[in-house]
Amino acid sequence: MENENLTSKLSPRSWRSEEMHERYQSERQTALEDPTACPLCTAQTLQSFTYWRLIDNKYPYDAVAITHHMLLPIRHSDGSDLTSAERDELELLKKTQLNKQFSFILEALPGTKSIPGHYHLHLIQPKII
């Protein structure tokens, strides 16, 4: 019982408000019906780097985060084929730019990714630290 309670609290499902979760589920189903469309490829860029770009998360973890953006490679990639230049820039961004703006970087494991076809990292500034 104690592990179940902890697991539910750590689940991304509980990180969204009920309203945001319902919106996410509804639009996610629509996106899954068209596998040729990548919602991350068409998302508006907040900031560009050489190989990466920062976007606003359309379905943020609003119950726990003040800010919730995502970092993704500019080119469509599932992450398995990142070049050494892309990996190097990612490491540099983690040490510099991202370190100044965010407290956490979250990466979903393959079995829980809502958009498995386009590699992305969740960048979080939590409501409480």
pLDDT tens by residue, 96-106: 999 999 999 98
Prediction pTM value: 0.81
Domain total in the chain: 1
Q: Which two tokens stand for residue 85?
A: 């230049």
Per the structure, the complete domain to which residue 43 belongs is given by 2-126
pLDDT tens by residue, 9-61: 555 667 888 898 888 888 777 666 676 778 889 899 999 999 999 999 998 99
pLDDT of residue 12: 61
Torsional class of 116: left (φ above 0), alpha (ψ -120 to 50), beta (otherwise): alpha
Q: What is the CATH number of the domain that holds 99?
A: 3.30.428.10
- Distances in Å between the Cα of 33 and the Cα atoms of 8, 21, 58, 89 are 28, 19, 18, 34
Write the DSSP assignment of the chain as a string of letters. Answer: -HHHHHHHHHSGGGGS-HHHHHHHHHHHHHHHT-TT--TTTTSPEEEE-SSEEEEE-SS--TTTEEEEEEEEESS---STT--HHHHHHHHHHHHTHHHHH-SEEE---GGG-SSTTS--EEEEEES--
pLDDT of residue 4: 47
